[in-house]
């Protein structure tokens, strides 16, 4: 028989049914709650958990001229970086893109909700723009520039905020594992160079090895291998999506990256198999009607932001009538009519391209006049997709060869040591 008050009896009875592991979890959560409570009551401007990331920034001359107020430190899981223009009165309350009720969600947040609805099957619009709940769950909502005049998102650029937010992004990326970054808008995307992408999504470990290995194969069998240029074989893109950082990490400088980008400029833009199968990275262009027009493109240059060269590496096939603006911000969406006309005019059997993730490894479209071949298995080490290569015995006989990724247990991360090849 257990003696005691009702409250004591309830506690003792509950403990009887808890395992040792459950008791440990309860104590762990209790300690975490106490730390969060202490951070809330911290009289200092920021909690202790933030000091390790940005403490040194607070004493620098550029920062001392700002009046600032921070919330307590949190365990950040996601960083959403952007620049909210705050077009209406009293919208700003310290969280990027967030507005307190009853203010309606700003256009920038509505765009984010639209993208979430596309990517997440069961996503439901919350009906308001208050993202306080996100922040409490570890989403850091950070403006690239922390102050603006109403409706003028660039009005306070160059005042010192950039140095601060760059330091925040860089430190979080370096010190927190499994962190996800969402860079919303072109200005925020420039901050990608501060993100250690190897730790971010486990991709990019072998980019340099893969490219140099392909170059070695090309050197050994120059008549058997053709390397086509894609949209990522450019200086701008590689500075954002990890290749530049990978070269810096492995060699301590950017020399390897510079040499590779010079090779990028010499890569082939398109190739023909038996004069009837066109191979290109992206797709078609409204500026190109014939194959001869592709042959006249000056390829020894950085990929331009628009025009025929840009379209060949950026465009995508889609269920549209003719042409439509691409959501990528470069290239075009093109449909069956455009594809059939191009194939007919140039006496082609097939257009073979890449550029888009296909979970099955390959996908035929437009009455099999076009095929997308995706050769990166388990993309970003998390998509779980199959990959493929396409084998052509002749122009009428094609056979996809499917393959999967190396299991995680067998994948080896290269050591981060300096090798003198590019010093």
Which residue's entry shows tokens 């290269």?
Answer: 414
Segment 131-155 shows an average pLDDT of 76
Segment 311-324 shows an average pLDDT of 93
Instruction: Output the CA torsion 188→190→191→197 (10° steps).
Output: 120
Q: What is the DSSP letter of 45?
A: S
At residue 73 the predicted structure's pLDDT band, cuts being 50, 70 and 90, is very low
Residue 5 has pLDDT above 70, yes or no: no
Model-level pTM? Answer: 0.54
Q: Give the pLDDT confidence of 382-412 residue by residue, as tens digits.
A: 788 898 989 888 889 888 999 888 887 776 6
Nearest to 347 by CA among 391, 286, 283, 291: 291
Q: Give the pLDDT confidence of 109-136 residue by residue, as tens digits.
A: 888 888 888 777 788 898 888 888 888 7
Residues 66-70: contacts with CB under 8 Å, at least 24 apart: 66/146, 66/147, 66/160, 66/161, 69/45, 69/94, 70/45, 70/46
Nearest to 310 by CA among 283, 286, 338, 331: 331
392 pairs with which residues across the strands? 398
Provide, rounded to the nearest whole percent, the portion of the chain with pLDDT above 90. Answer: 27
Catalytic (active-site) positions: 84
Segment 99-117 shows an average pLDDT of 83
Phi and psi, residue 175, nearest 5°: -105, -20
Angle 390-207-169 from CA coordinates, rounded to 5°: 130
Segment 136-161 shows an average pLDDT of 73
CB contact set of 267 (below 8 Å; sequence gap of 6+): 227, 228, 229, 233, 299
Check residue 196 and give its pLDDT.
43
Query: Domains of the chain, with CATH numbers?
Result: 48-195 (3.40.470.10), 207-408 (3.60.21.10)
CB 359, CB 383: distance < 8 Å: yes
Query: What residue ranges in 25-129 does DSSP mark as E strands?
Result: 78-82
Number of Cβ within a 10 Å radius of residue 333: 19
Residue 203 has pLDDT above 80, yes or no: no
Residue 271 has pLDDT above 70, yes or no: yes
């Amino acid at each position: 028989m257990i003696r005691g008050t009702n409250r004591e009896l309830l506690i003792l009875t509950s403990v009887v049914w808890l395992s040792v592991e459950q008791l440990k979890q309860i104590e762990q959560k209790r300690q975490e709650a106490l730390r969060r409570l202490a951070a809330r009551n911290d009289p200092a401007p920021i909690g202790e958990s933030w000091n390790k990331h940005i403490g040194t920034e607070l004493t620098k001359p550029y920062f001392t001229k700002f009046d600032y107020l921070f919330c307590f430190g949190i365990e950040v899981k996601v960083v959403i970086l952007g620049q909210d223009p705050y077009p209406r009165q009293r919208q700003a309350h310290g969280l990027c893109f967030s507005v307190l009720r009853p203010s309606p969600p700003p256009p920038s947040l509505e765009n984010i909700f639209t993208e979430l609805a596309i990517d997440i099957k069961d996503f439901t619009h919350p009906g308001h723009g208050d993202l306080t709940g996100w922040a409490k769950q570890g989403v850091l909502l950070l403006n690239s520039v922390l102050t603006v005049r109403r409706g003028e998102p660039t009005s306070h650029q160059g005042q010192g905020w950039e140095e601060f937010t760059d330091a925040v992004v860089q430190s979080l990326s370096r010190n927190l594992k499994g962190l996800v970054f969402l860079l919303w808008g072109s200005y925020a995307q420039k901050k990608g160079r501060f993100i250690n992408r190897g730790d971010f999504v486990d991709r990019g470990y072998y980019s340099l090895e893969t490219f140099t290995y392909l170059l070695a194969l090309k050197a050994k069998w120059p008549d058997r291998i053709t390397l086509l240029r894609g949209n990522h074989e450019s200086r701008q893109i590689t500075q954002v999506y990890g290749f530049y950082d990978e070269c810096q990490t492995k060699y301590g400088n950017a020399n390897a990256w510079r040499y590779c980008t010079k090779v990028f400029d010499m890569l082939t833009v398109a190739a023909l198999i038996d004069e009837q199968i066109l191979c290109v990275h992206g797709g078609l262009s409204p500026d190109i009607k014939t194959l001869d027009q592709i042959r006249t493109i000056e390829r020894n240059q950085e990929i331009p932001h628009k025009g025929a060269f840009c379209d060949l590496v950026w465009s995508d096939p889609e269920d549209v009538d003719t042409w439509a603006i691409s959501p990528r911000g470069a290239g075009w969406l093109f449909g069956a009519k455009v594809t059939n006309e191009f194939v007919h005019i140039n006496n082609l059997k097939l257009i073979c391209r890449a550029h888009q993730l296909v979970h099955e490894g390959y996908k035929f479209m437009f009455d099999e006049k076009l095929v997308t071949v995706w050769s990166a298995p388990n993309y970003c080490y998390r998509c779980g997709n199959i990959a493929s290569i396409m084998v052509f015995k002749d122009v009428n006989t094609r056979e996809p060869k499917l393959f999967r990724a190396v299991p995680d247990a067998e994948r080896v991360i290269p050591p981060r040591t300096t090798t003198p090849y590019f010093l």
